[in-house]
Structure 1
Amino acid sequence: MLFVHTSDNAQLLFILKLNALYETIHLRKRPEDVAALVQDALQGTLSKEEGEILAKAAGAALRATVWQYTSMLEAFAKVTGLEKQVSKAMELFRLDDSPAGAYDDPEVVEQFIARVSPLIHKNPGYSNYKTDRLNREERAAAGLDLSRRRYNKLFRCLRRLETKLGILIRERQKSLFQRTGKHGFAEDITREDFTGDVNSACFIAYYTARCNLRSEFTVSGQQRPYDEIADMLFKRCAAGGKQTNWWAIAQVYVKTNVLEQLTDDQQGALLGKWTALLQQVASFLEDLWTQNEFNRTSMVVKRGNDSTTWNNTAGAWNKARDSWLNLLYALGMEFVLEDMCPGKVMRLIAADVAAWHHMVGSKGDPNLLVWSQLPLPWEVFSGREACNRTMVEAACKSAGLDTGKSGWIAPRPQGVVPFRPTPELVHGVAISNPYLAKILKQHKYFSGKDIKPLSPEQN
């Protein structure tokens, strides 16, 4: 019989707990369920007060409830790869070997197209059906012993695959912006860095889950991610000394009290990452702006607007911009704002939410006034339009906004909010029962689409 030392068992169990936490930063788990995993990882090390604070969330984990079920997806939507299309191309070209790698990776698909295109003397990217095909004489000169019908079939196959590749690249970019707009660069944290310090791991996992909360249909504002539980976990990191992995924390929580713990090289590297993201998002926002017709003054969504993509991308811009601002101040480079200070991007708002705001006497979001007065942020970031700190300050003043607290020209002050349970949402509307929520989703309630009324048997 093989005996394992008790300490070895305990160490293995601890590693498994940290690995379970690590998996959550790639998912969209409820904060309560992540808090329960944090409770497991910190077992025996929490003070009485810390345990009581954490229990506010952990006590509402699915494993501790009667339902033990949520109707909300616990992962971000995956982008469908091109396995089906590549397999069909292999069949048509009569290839036995498959490309190395995953078919959801655009680079792998692009390499496949580059490898197969020469088989019919086609240049990748040149897919015009009128001008880029070879005629009979050209096929004969190239040594292609193919009928016109078969050649056209292979040409169309590659043409469609290139079109699908373009869609795949765009969808992956949209997915990336949605995720980074929520939790920053959490997915860049390696397993080794994450598991190197338990307090850092617990804060990152819980704070990421809070950042991933879905938007709620409300006029009272969305939940702020930094709640009393996140604050308690952060204080444990602050007391951890050199053991705390500030670089890993900075991937999701770009605040002054974190950045000051980094080296100059680390701060510079992080500034480069966020600046590169701003550049990518700016280009995508400009495309969306030209493809849609938005009411810039109200930002109320109209029929035909791709509000989901716009709001996700706007969220990515604002997240990147906040982090960029924080890093400029941490590096003593706020003088950059005197020459270039691109503004925030406002999200689209549903007409019924706008009407609700009006009914309760709200005069509207003053940030909209600033947004509508300033040059478009992507034009400023690209250098085509000028917008500096003075212009933003003037716009904020005319809108009645405090420039020191609004986040337009300086890091937004960090506050601690009380923990609030995660609501069960159906298209932003809170539903008390997760099973009812599932049924309402299936019948398209609150979706803006034609609903499928519940039959008596389903009531």
Structure 2
Amino acid sequence: MMDLRALYDTLRQRRRPEDVADMLLPLLQAELTPQQRATLEKAARHSIRRSMWQYTAMQQTFRAVVGADKQAGKAAELFRVTPDPAARFDDPAAIETLLRELNPLIGKEFDHHHYEADRLNREARRADGLDLSKRRYNKLFRSLRHLEQKLYRLLREYRKLEQEQVAKHKFAHRISYEEFARDPATAAFIAYYTARCNVRSEFTNQSQQRPYDEVAHMLFLRLTGSGLAPTTAAPNWWAVAQVYPAPEVLAQLTEAQKGELLGQRAAFLTDLADFLGDIWAQNDFRATTMVVKRGDDSSTWNAAAGAWNKARDSWLNLLYALGMEFVLDELCFGKVMRLMAADVAFWHRSSGGDLDPNTAVWAELPFPWEVLAGTARCTRTQVENVCRRAGLDAYKTGWLAPRPHGVVAFRPTPELVHGVSVANPYLAAVLKRHRYFSGKPAQPLRPEDN
């Protein structure tokens, strides 16, 4: 099996598509036709390695979740124990293992850390055989309380991180290395298309870049046998379906595989619906406009909304692939609108645009978390009628059917500072450091002080 570890690692990173294309050239060069190589070269020639700057100020990874090393280390120090050297305290399972080891040492139960209700008094400590002063006991109790609270924060942050990833590339990050590396041509398409999906949004009043470009199309045609020189006899369609669940991909899966994927997507949506409902209840979003205002937790909401829409697209595609679209007659939860920055909304209006008609549909339909909780009902007929009033075709716009897409021309990834394109990556780094375009008070550049 070809070693594709470096390419596989890009699935959990935010490498530019050009850099992934540059990685693909040496892997595929012996198998590509001149035309295919020229198509891949369109992207690869813009890689960081080949650029004049050989640098980008944009993060090449998703945000990191801070583990519990500090809290775990303090607890171990206070309890005078040595944790397993192999334990990694960015792993919730390792934290829980340590907690279940330490909690009994002070007569405490796991997940019981209320400072008033769950501490033992002097008599209870004596009954448990704990020869500890009140001060010593309280210090140990607090250390475990802090560690348990960190565990819950960590679980929430991992949940949010996965939502951020799904909002970009669906479920590419769940593909195992064994599945990824089983077929190099499949790996090439997945890696490049995932990188295209991960491209950052631009500050614009036009539509964003579409991920399925001519390079992705060429790599996909090599899987279907429609290319000039298909090079693979066994594409891994299961792996492709994690990131690109198009009808022609799902048609290659067995009924059992499609059913398994449908169950996974339904479970993800059910869990995410609860999360969205909680965020909605904690904020005061305006459903009719979805324009962000001061105090709104727009980052959390937009990541969750993006993840919902990507997972819902997959769920919808799978229903049709299984011939189960009749489910929509009775259960048809809608899309979730993201919050739009006020300056972008103003730009739309000032340039002759108007509110996205999808927002009107979202505002009129029952919220998805209400539908899944059984407190509201949303059917195919409701969605058809609301879309018609908003001037939308419910089937062509993805409300009731898989959304069609075409092939777009390759466009180099712009160097962005909070969505604003900057030609020089070193200038971009300076602007970012001084908080320009961030929506926060900038720290003015003063060349005379340098």
TM range (shorter): over 0.9
Indicate conservation of the 8 Å contact 2:83/2:98, yes or no. no
Structure 1 runs not aligned, ≥5 long = 1-10
Matched, 1:323 2:309: no
Superposition pairs of residues 149-164 of structure 1, within 5 angstroms: 149-164=135-150
Indicate conservation of the 8 Å contact 2:241/2:250, yes or no. yes
State the match for 1:440 in structure 2: 431
Matched, 1:235 2:221: yes
User: Please, which of 11, 23, 47 is the counterpart of residue 37 of structure 1?
Assistant: 23
CA distance, structure 2, for counterparts of residue 416 and residue 310 of structure 1? 30
| Offset, 1:162 | 1.4
Matched, 1:454 2:445: yes
Matched, 1:351 2:347: no
State the match for 2:115 in structure 1: 129
| Offset, 1:192 | 2.2
Matched, 1:342 2:342: no
CA distance, structure 1, for counterparts of residue 160 and residue 394 of structure 2? 31
User: Please, which of 409, 417, 420 is the counterpart of residue 426 of structure 1?
Assistant: 417
Superposition pairs of residues 42-441 of structure 1, within 5 angstroms: 42-98=28-84, 101-239=87-225, 240=230, 242-441=233-432
The one-letter amino acid of 1:184's match is K
CA distance, structure 1, for counterparts of residue 236 and residue 449 of structure 2? 51
CA distance, structure 2, for counterparts of residue 99 and residue 386 of structure 1? 53
The one-letter amino acid of 1:344's match is K
CA distance, structure 2, for counterparts of residue 325 and residue 72 of structure 1? 34
Q: What's the CA shift string for 1:356-388, capped at 9, x where partnerless?
A: 000110021000000000000111122221001
| Offset, 1:125 | 1.7
CA distance, structure 2, for counterparts of residue 199 and residue 43 of structure 1? 12
**SS of the residue aligned with 1:249?**
helix
Indicate conservation of the 8 Å contact 1:100/1:108, yes or no. no
- Farther-moved stretch of structure 1 (215-224 vs 110-119): 110-119
Indicate conservation of the 8 Å contact 2:75/2:143, yes or no. yes
Residues 98, 217 of structure 1: CA spacing in aligned structure 2 closer, same or farther, 3 A cutoff?
Answer: same
Structure 2 runs not aligned, ≥5 long = none
| Offset, 1:422 | 0.5
Indicate conservation of the 8 Å contact 1:215/1:428, yes or no. yes
CA distance, structure 1, for counterparts of residue 136 and residue 49 of structure 2? 58
Indicate conservation of the 8 Å contact 1:99/1:108, yes or no. no
Q: What's the CA shift string for 1:311-351, capped at 9, x where partnerless?
A: 11101000000000000000000000001000000000000
- Farther-moved stretch of structure 1 (392-401 vs 152-161): 152-161
| Offset, 1:39 | 1.6
CA distance, structure 2, for counterparts of residue 364 and residue 458 of structure 1? 45
CA distance, structure 2, for counterparts of residue 262 and residue 126 of structure 1? 46
**4+ runs of 1 displaced by more than 6 Å?**
none
Count of residues paired in the alignment: 445
The one-letter amino acid of 1:94's match is R
TM-score with structure 1 length normalisation? 0.94
Q: What's the CA shift string for 1:69-92, capped at 9, x where partnerless?
A: 000011111101101110100000
CA distance, structure 2, for counterparts of residue 44 and residue 145 of structure 1? 73
The one-letter amino acid of 1:77's match is R
CA distance, structure 1, for counterparts of residue 162 and residue 28 of structure 2? 31
| Offset, 1:418 | 1.1
The one-letter amino acid of 1:453's match is P
The one-letter amino acid of 1:121's match is G
CA distance, structure 2, for counterparts of residue 244 and residue 457 of structure 1? 59
Over the matched positions of the two proteins, sequence identity in percent amounts to 57
CA distance, structure 1, for counterparts of residue 252 and residue 82 of structure 2? 54
CA distance, structure 1, for counterparts of residue 356 and residue 8 of structure 2? 37
CA distance, structure 2, for counterparts of residue 223 and residue 458 of structure 1? 39
| Offset, 1:248 | 1.1
Indicate conservation of the 8 Å contact 1:99/1:112, yes or no. no
CA distance, structure 2, for counterparts of residue 406 and residue 191 of structure 1? 34
CA distance, structure 1, for counterparts of residue 356 and residue 380 of structure 2? 21
CA distance, structure 1, for counterparts of residue 145 and residue 83 of structure 2? 21
State the match for 2:7 in structure 1: 21
CA distance, structure 2, for counterparts of residue 398 and residue 447 of structure 1? 37
